[in-house]
Amino acid sequence: MATAGKVIKCRAAVIWEAGQIPSIEEVEVAPPRTHEIRVKIVATGICRTDDHVAEGLFPDINYPVIVGHEAAGIVESIGPEVTSVKPGDKVIPLCLTQCGECASCQNPKTNFCLKSHFYQPQNLMPDKTTRFTCKGKQVHHFLWTSTFSEYTVMPESSIVKIDNAAPLEKVCLFGCGFSTGYGAALNSAKVEPGSTCAIFGLGGVGLSVVMGCKTAGASRIIGIDINKEKFAKAKELGATECISPNDFDKPIEKVLVEMTGFGVDYAFEVIGRTDTAVAALASARLGSGTCVLVGEPPSGSQLIINPRLILTGRKLKGSMLGDWKLKEAFPKLVSDYMNKRCHPEALISHTLPFEKIAEGFELLRAGKSIRCILLF
């Protein structure tokens, strides 16, 4: 392409300081370096994790920063030694890398690649520099994806090619929300047919857990949310019952244990709070229940649990990006979508032009959107 090797000027949403909603700016995006790829983003969803950065809940983030990680786009140019994609390919960014070489990538039991931003300064590229500048200032990356920019640069380990027939404005949801929730049910919990499930939080990720539980053949899927406006969609996607903790004068875990006898087989925390994480564990079935933590509480928070809950046979585990090895999983999930075997598009409640990103954040904060897709 004519832009290859040159600095590109384009639109991006920059968060200048913690506590600020992203503002649209013109940024310069440097060409990709060795093992890097520059991508033209076509569609990107707003996930709660992006909002957590805007709210300043992650103190280890450096500002100014360009967030965004749930997206799909087209390769604009590639740096030296890139072999897995070429300009013009449709791709999905991976917010958890799969380098293919480290001990974790070689281990079928984990998706936690050791060459990811979790082990390096996460606001810089692997070579510890940035590709973005704005008004003469260096702007930081986020999760090595930074998809709230019309063009962005990513390491090759953070990107995968998908079917060129895939509609990017739908499959962008595989980038985080859908895969995270769906995989939490299928891979992390391994929900079994006929089982009972409780999902705390019915946002984009929680509703994807609901879809995963349904696909796995769960017979009872109980949705829990304080916002009853989420119930209709949850039922449409497979929840058999929905309840609000505000409607009871006893703790929600007691309600769930009474509803099910000894607790649910699988409980999922998909809000990002410590009190609901404890409630989810306590609502898991005595002797055999599993609680999966998906929501991300603010950094620095502590979980205080009664060890007896674990000693009496409940299991507590966490799940990142649905326990999928993302480079392998995304092309397969896209193919499942093309064959109508899964429905990430069910999460789309709003579609806005990229310029209206601030409105997208407001909709999420007001509890009005499930997933708002921004189109460039």
Residues that bind ligand PAD (CB under 6 A): 47-49, 52, 176-177, 180, 200-206, 224-227, 230, 245, 270-273, 276, 294-296, 319-321, 367
Q: Which residue sits closest to ligand PAD, CB atoms considered?
A: 203
Binding mask 175-214 for Zn ion (x = CB under 5 A): -x--------------------------------------
- Determine if 105 is a binding residue for Zn ion (CB under 5 A): yes
State the minimum distance, in angstroms, from the CB of residue 227 to ligand PAD. Answer: 4
From the CB of 17, what's the least distance to ligand PAD, in Å? 20
Name the residue among 4, 17, 299, 291 with its Cα closest to residue 139: 17
* Buried b / exposed e along 343-365 (16+ C-beta atoms within 10 A): bbebbbebebebebbebbbebbe
**Per CB under 5 A, 99 contacts Zn ion:** yes
The token duo for 149 is 């920019």
CB of 272 to ligand PAD, least distance (A): 2
Pick from ligand PAD, Zn ion, none: which does 75 bind, CB < 5 to 8 A by kind?
none
In this structure, which amino acid lies at residue 250?
A: K
Per DSSP, helices labelled H in the chain are: 48-55, 103-106, 168-171, 177-183, 204-215, 231-237, 252-260, 274-283, 308-311, 326-338, 357-365
CA dist., res. 86 & res. 317, Å (int) = 38
Residue 203 touches which member of ligand PAD, Zn ion, none, C-beta under 5-8 Å by kind: ligand PAD
CA–CA dist 176, 214 (Å, integer): 19
Which does residue 270 bind out of ligand PAD, Zn ion, none, counting CB within 5 to 8 angstroms by kind?
A: ligand PAD
User: Residue 206 binds what, of Zn ion, ligand PAD, none (CB under 5 to 8 Å, by partner type)?
Assistant: ligand PAD
DSSP code of residue 297: P
What residue ranges bind Zn ion (CB under 5 A)? 47, 49, 99, 102, 105, 113, 115, 176
